[in-house]
């Protein structure tokens, strides 16, 4: 895989002596992942319906990696029945950190195609409210399709501008997830389209949009509520830079520590998952609480 030169230069400056290990990680084939849908099945039923074995991952109890052959996983009857959702394991960590509980009101503000929304729904277990929003109407249709396929009974699906939605629902939600549109460096290992679409200007443009979305999301969080910001990128400009800037302008929010199983452990409120350190796609999570 030929990665953009500007991206590699940025990684070399950032990682220093770890840079060779980072490069080597891109020579390893990424494992595929799926997440069991507890609204539709238990573990024995899922395993019986699949033609391959599952291996647990440290990022979410219902997340698994697998070695699939040439078969199209999305064509399996179990997929059409909504028994599972194909999802990279590291991406499951955002909802693990959000930690939605039955009965809570939860907003997924940038929800398409629905992986994290349906993960939240499984944890709510039919109690409380899931509000899944996607500003792009065509992507909102894919979101709605996945919410229906996985049998979510307590969801609202909308296609609204984040500012308009959050102004209308100020202080309404216990927990809000902003899995923001990003420049996608974390997906380079498995997605050639992400590599082709990237440019040196992408991170700065994305960071500006991410800050605007976070400013909107802050309105919707109740006092004492939780806001989780995540991206599938690994450049600090879109990660720590965005969350630092947000916190500087929103003194009523603060980072709150969390832990993830496996190689991550305890954090001070934010973490970047790296291919060479954690064996995953690149991913960033920051957990903030409104005072």
Q: Check whether 72 has a pLDDT greater than 80.
A: yes
Tokens 């997340």 belong to which residue?
63
* Distance from C-alpha of 114 to C-alpha of 151, rounded to nearest angstrom: 12
Predicted structure pTM score: 0.96
Bridge partner residues of 129 (DSSP): 105
* Distance from C-alpha of 270 to C-alpha of 288, rounded to nearest angstrom: 9
Q: Cis bond leading into 113, ω under 30°?
A: yes
Q: Check whether 183 has a pLDDT greater than 90.
A: yes
Write the pLDDT tens digit of every residue in 96-143: 999 999 999 999 999 999 999 999 999 999 999 999 999 999 999 999
Establish whether 182 is a catalytic residue: no
| Token duo for residue 33 | 């992942």
Pick from 89, 95, 139, 140: nearest CA to 121? 95
pLDDT score, position 70:
55
pLDDT score, position 263:
81
pLDDT band at 53 (very low <50, low <70, confident <90, very high): very high
pLDDT band at 68 (very low <50, low <70, confident <90, very high): low
* Distance from C-alpha of 6 to C-alpha of 271, rounded to nearest angstrom: 23
Rounded percentage of the chain residues whose pLDDT exceeds 70: 98
CB contact set of 13 (below 8 Å; sequence gap of 6+): none
| Token duo for residue 248 | 């500087």
Is there a contact between 150 and 121 (Cβ–Cβ < 8 Å)? yes
* Distance from C-alpha of 92 to C-alpha of 268, rounded to nearest angstrom: 19
Q: Pairing state of beta strands 55-56 and 63-66?
A: antiparallel
Write the pLDDT tens digit of every residue in 249-287: 999 999 999 999 888 889 999 999 999 999 899 999 999
Is there a contact between 92 and 35 (Cβ–Cβ < 8 Å)? yes
Q: Check whether 69 has a pLDDT greater than 90.
A: no
HEC profile for the chain? CCCCHHHHHHHHHHHHHHHHHHHHHCCCCCCEEEEECCCCCCHHHHHHHCCCCCEECCCCCCEEEECCCCCCHHHCHHHHCCCEEECCHHHHHHHHHHCCCCCCEEEECCCCCCHHHHHHHHHHCCCCEEEEECCCHHHHHHHHHHHHHCCCCCEEEECCCHHHHHHHCCCCEEEEEEECCCCCHHHCCCCHHHHHHCCCCHHHHHHHHHHHHHHHHHHHEEEEEEEEEEECCCCHHHCHHHHHHHHHHCCCEEECCCEECCCCEECCCEEEECHHHHCCCCEEEEEEEEC
Task: Please tell me which residue in 110, 232, 254, 286 is annotated as part of the active site.
Answer: 232
pLDDT band at 71 (very low <50, low <70, confident <90, very high): low
Phi, psi angle pair for 60, to nearest 5°: -170, 135
| Token duo for residue 264 | 């991550």
């Amino acid at each position: 895989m030929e990665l953009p030169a500007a991206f590699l230069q940025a990684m070399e400056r950032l990682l220093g002596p770890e840079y060779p290990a980072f490069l080597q990680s891109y020579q390893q084939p990424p494992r595929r992942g799926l997440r069991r849908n507890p609204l539709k099945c238990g573990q024995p039923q899922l395993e019986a319906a699949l033609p391959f074995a599952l291996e647990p991952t440290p990022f979410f109890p219902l997340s698994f990696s697998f070695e699939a052959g040439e078969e199209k996983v999305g064509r399996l009857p179990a997929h059409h029945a909504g028994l599972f959702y194909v999802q990279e394991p590291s991406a499951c960590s955002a909802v693990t950190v959000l930690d939605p509980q039955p009965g809570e009101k939860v907003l997924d503000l940038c929800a398409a195609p629905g992986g994290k929304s349906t993960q939240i729904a499984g944890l709510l277990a039919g109690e409380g409210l899931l509000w899944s929003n996607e500003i792009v109407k065509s992507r909102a249709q894919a979101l709605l399709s996945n919410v229906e396929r996985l049998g979510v009974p307590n969801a609202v699906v909308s296609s609204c501008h984040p500012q308009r939605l959050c102004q209308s629902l100020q202080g309404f939600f216990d927990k809000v997830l902003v899995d923001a549109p990003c420049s996608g460096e974390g997906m380079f290992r498995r997605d050639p389209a992400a590599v082709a679409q990237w440019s040196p200007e992408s991170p700065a443009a994305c960071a500006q949009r991410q800050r605007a979305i976070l400013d909107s999301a802050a309105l919707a969080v109740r006092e004492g509520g939780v806001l989780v910001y995540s991206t599938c990128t690994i450049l600090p400009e879109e990660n720590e830079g965005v969350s630092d800037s947000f916190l500087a302008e929103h003194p009523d929010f603060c980072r709150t520590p969390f832990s993830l199983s496996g190689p991550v452990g305890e954090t001070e409120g934010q973490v970047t998952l790296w291919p060479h350190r954690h064996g995953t796609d690149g991913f960033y999570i920051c957990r903030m609480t409104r005072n």
